[in-house]
Amino acid sequence: MKAASRIAFFYLLFGYVWIYFSDYAISLIFKSTEDIRESQSLKGWGFVTVSAVIIFILLVRELRRQKHVLFEKIESDQLFQIILERIEDAVIVFNLDTWKIDFLSEQVSRLFDIPTKEILIHPELLIERVHEGDRARMTNIWMNQLRENHTGLLYRICMLDGKIKWALEHRLYIPTKGGSANKAVAVISDMTSYMENQSQLERSLKENETLLTEVHHRVKNNLAVIISFLQLQVYSSPPETADILEQSIVRIKAIALVHEKLYSSKNLSGLSSVDYITSLVENIKLMYMRTDIRIELDIQKIEFNIVDAIPMGLMITEMLTNSFRHAFGGGQSDALIKIDFIVMDQFNYELKYRDNGIGFPPGLNYKKAESIGLSVIFSLCSQMNGREVECSSAPNEGVFYHFAFSPKKAIPKENINVSKG
Helix (H, G, I), strand (E, B) or coil at 327: helix
pLDDT at 352: 93
- List, in order, residues 6 or more apart from 337 with CB less than 8 Å away: 293, 294, 295, 296, 320, 323, 353, 354, 355
Strand partners, 338: 296, 354
C-alpha distances in Å from residue 25, one per residue of 16, 20, 49? 14, 9, 19
pLDDT at 411 over 80: no
pLDDT at 415: 41
State whether 38 and 181 are in the same domain: no
pLDDT tens, position by position, 186-242: 889 888 888 888 888 877 777 776 776 777 778 778 888 888 878 888 887 888 888
Which of 196, 228, 263 corresponds to the end of one domain? 196
Cα 339 from Cα 197, distance rounded (Å):
48
State whether 350 and 305 are in the same domain: yes
Q: Is residue 97 part of a domain?
A: yes
C-alpha distances in Å from residue 413, one per residue of 125, 152, 159, 327? 51, 31, 47, 34
Helix (H, G, I), strand (E, B) or coil at 130: strand
Q: Is residue 173 part of a domain?
A: yes
Q: What is the mean pLDDT of the chain?
A: 80
Residues spanned by the domain of 19: 1-85
Cα 317 from Cα 372, distance rounded (Å):
13
Cα 380 from Cα 378, distance rounded (Å):
5
- List, in order, residues 6 or more apart from 304 with CB less than 8 Å away: 270, 271, 272, 273, 276, 312, 410
State whether 25 and 163 are in the same domain: no
State whether 113 and 256 are in the same domain: no
Cα 354 from Cα 340, distance rounded (Å):
9
Q: Region 3-29: what's the mean pLDDT?
A: 70
pLDDT tens, position by position, 76-103: 666 666 666 667 788 888 888 888 888 8
Helix (H, G, I), strand (E, B) or coil at 146: coil
Q: What is the CATH number of the domain that holds 134?
A: 3.30.450.20
pLDDT at 169 over 80: yes
pLDDT confidence bin for 104, thresholds 50/70/90: confident
State whether 268 and 368 are in the same domain: yes
Cα 206 from Cα 197, distance rounded (Å):
14
State whether 285 and 357 are in the same domain: yes
Q: Is residue 376 part of a domain?
A: yes
Q: Which of 227, 364, 349, 255 is nearest to 300 (CA)?
A: 349
The DSSP output letter for 182 is P
pLDDT at 371: 67
pLDDT tens, position by position, 251-301: 888 888 877 777 666 665 677 888 888 888 888 888 888 778 889 999 998
State whether 254 and 322 are in the same domain: yes
Q: Is residue 319 part of a domain?
A: yes
C-alpha distances in Å from residue 114, one per residue of 104, 119, 121, 341? 12, 7, 12, 65
pLDDT confidence bin for 3, thresholds 50/70/90: low
Of the listed ranges 30-39, 307-316, 369-378, 387-396, the one predicted with least confidence? 30-39
State whether 302 and 383 are in the same domain: yes
Q: Is residue 76 part of a domain?
A: yes
Q: Which of 139, 147, 141 is nearest to 172 (CA)?
A: 147
Tell me the percentage of the chain whose pLDDT exceeds 90.
Answer: 10
- List, in order, residues 6 or more apart from 278 with CB less than 8 Å away: 297, 299, 418, 420
pLDDT confidence bin for 331, thresholds 50/70/90: low
User: How far separated are the first and last CA of the chain, in Å rounded?
Assistant: 94
pLDDT at 1 over 70: no
pTM summary value: 0.51
Q: Which residue would you say has higher pLDDT here, 373 or 130?
A: 130
Cα 25 from Cα 47, distance rounded (Å):
14
Strand pairing of 336-345 and 294-304? parallel
State whether 50 and 93 are in the same domain: no
State whether 251 and 354 are in the same domain: yes
Residue 116: Cβ within 10 Å count: 14
Residue 197: Cβ within 10 Å count: 10
Q: Is residue 224 part of a domain?
A: no
pLDDT at 183: 86
pLDDT at 382 over 80: yes
pLDDT tens, position by position, 30-47: 667 776 667 777 777 777
pLDDT at 86: 67
Q: Is residue 207 part of a domain?
A: no
State whether 269 and 388 are in the same domain: yes
Which of 18, 51, 85 corresponds to the end of one domain? 85
State whether 276 and 382 are in the same domain: yes
Q: Is residue 419 part of a domain?
A: no
pLDDT at 344 over 80: yes
- The total domain count for the chain is 3
Which of 59, 85, 111 corresponds to the end of one domain? 85
